[in-house]
Amino acid sequence: MHKNHGPVYYGDYLMLDKFLSSQEPLSKKFADSHNGECHDEMLFIIVHQAYELWFKQIIHELNAIVDIFQKNFIEEAELSSIYNKLERVKKIQSLLLTQLEILETMTPMDFLEFRNLLIPASGFQSVQFREIEIKMGLNTNDRLDVDREFFLGRLNQSDREKLTKIENGPSLLKLIQKWLERTPYTEKSDFNFWNEYKNSINQMISEDEATIKSNSAHLSEKEIAIQLELSKLTRSTFDCLFDENKHNELIASKQRKLSQKAILNALFIMLYRDEPLLNLPQKIITSLIDIDENFTTWRYRHALMAHRMLGTKIGTGGSSGHLYLKRAADNNRVFVDLFNLSTFLIPKSRLPKLPDSIKKELNFHV
């Protein structure tokens, strides 16, 4: 027992009096004018509350991560702490998917019994979910038009102000960009890493083309032509990566989100992830990809659920339903640039050898 307070009681600690009295089905409240209480409305409330509860935990983790990333120098132990928090978010996300399965034990017909009571409330009004999206790096302006309208229009004044304020704060995307841009190893005076990398790529592609041309035993002429065409495409994709102007055009047209410098450094981390100092950065990048993938999957599954629950009906909040949700699944991805890094990976055997001075910096004292 702690010296500052008396004995703690489980129910008091968890504030269960308050917490467990926050479920009030409207079909119960209006049981008389309605057709009596609907058994499944309790499930509907509890599933949504469980989402909000876990959203609160995700925000708690994101806030702690953002706090660390705002420092100018991040110690190794802090990177480790960031990684553990991201992994926790992933575990929570897998729960969010399972919760959809529980909601689906309510049939569309059961939902219909109390659906009219909820109009025009809508999951689009979940301020915490919007907060997560914004903290991750999804700007209101990045949204589809229809999404932006929902985003602004369906919330009350106070919620709208809350979100605007958050939007003016730092996002994970922007902080990650700064952190990546700071990674210094690719710009040493005695080592022009990217030149060597480009040579590796050119050599690799040339060898591939030679193999294709010499393979008339297994390939038809047409197939050889196609494969050579693909090879040319690969070459131009690599070229783009190193042209800063071209990259900034892609940012302007919203095809890229991260600066060229950040992407190149992230690529360096992925390529040399075996160096001890790059181990945690590589793990963090991978976790961000996982988290983006999980939210995307969740949005897509949510769209399918809306489809089965409502058919082609309009949602309680007036949204066009599952079609809208499906488009949003893909449009609201934040870390696509990290997914695309794989485009530029090359086999380990082709990697430029790091100079000893850099290798030493990337390693332990021992």
Q: Provide the mask over 111-130, with x wherever binding to its own copies is found by CB under 8 A and - wherever it is not.
A: -xx--xxxxxxxxxxxxx--
Q: Contacting its own copies (CB under 8 A), which of 24, 149, 243, 244?
A: 24
Nearer to its own copies, 170 or 318 (CB): 318
Q: Contacting its own copies (CB under 8 A), which of 287, 330, 331, 352?
A: 330
Does 301 help bind its own copies (rule: CB under 8 A)?
yes
Nearer to its own copies, 174 or 313 (CB): 313
Q: Contacting its own copies (CB under 8 A), which of 66, 200, 273, 331?
A: 273
> How far apart are alpha carbons 248 and 258 in whole angstroms?
10
> How far apart are alpha carbons 258 and 255 in whole angstroms?
10
In whole angstroms, how close is the CB of 282 to its own copies at the nearest point?
Answer: 9
> How far apart are alpha carbons 280 and 148 in whole angstroms?
36
With CA atoms as reference, report the closest residue to 315 among 108, 47, 119, 42: 119
Nearer to its own copies, 168 or 348 (CB): 348
Quickly count: other Cβ atoms within 10 Å of residue 85's Cβ.
19
Q: Element (H or E) spanning 39, and its range?
A: none
Q: Looking only at residues 74 through 93 of this chain, which bind its own copies when binding is defined by CB under 8 A?
A: 76-77, 80, 84, 87-88, 91-92
With CA atoms as reference, report the closest residue to 79 among 96, 65, 98, 60: 65
In whole angstroms, how close is the CB of 262 to its own copies at the nearest point?
Answer: 16
**79, 284 Cβ separation under 8 angstroms:** yes
Does 236 help bind its own copies (rule: CB under 8 A)?
no
Q: Contacting its own copies (CB under 8 A), which of 108, 146, 161, 187?
A: 108
Does 200 help bind its own copies (rule: CB under 8 A)?
no
> How far apart are alpha carbons 80 and 76 in whole angstroms?
6
Tell me which stretch binds its own copies (CB under 8 A): 131-139, 172-180, 242-250, 357-365.
Answer: 357-365
Q: Contacting its own copies (CB under 8 A), which of 146, 152, 225, 226?
A: 226
Q: Looking only at residues 309 through 328 of this chain, which bind its own copies when binding is defined by CB under 8 A?
A: 309-314, 318, 326
Q: Contacting its own copies (CB under 8 A), which of 45, 66, 228, 251?
A: 45
Does 220 help bind its own copies (rule: CB under 8 A)?
no
> How far apart are alpha carbons 319 and 69 in whole angstroms?
36
Q: Tell me how many residues contact its own copies (CB under 8 A).
A: 137
Look up residue 186 and give its DSSP letter.
G
Cβ-Cβ contacts under 8 Å for 229 (sequence gap 6 or more): none
In whole angstroms, how close is the CB of 118 to its own copies at the nearest point?
Answer: 5
Does 140 help bind its own copies (rule: CB under 8 A)?
no
Does 237 help bind its own copies (rule: CB under 8 A)?
yes
Where does residue 153 rank: exposed (0-12), middle (13-18), buried (19+ CB within 10 A)?
exposed
> How far apart are alpha carbons 289 and 206 in whole angstroms?
31
**71, 144 Cβ separation under 8 angstroms:** no
Token pair in block for residue 126:
């979940």
In whole angstroms, how close is the CB of 129 to its own copies at the nearest point?
Answer: 10
Three-state DSSP class for residue 14? coil
> How far apart are alpha carbons 281 and 80 in whole angstroms?
9
Does 28 help bind its own copies (rule: CB under 8 A)?
no
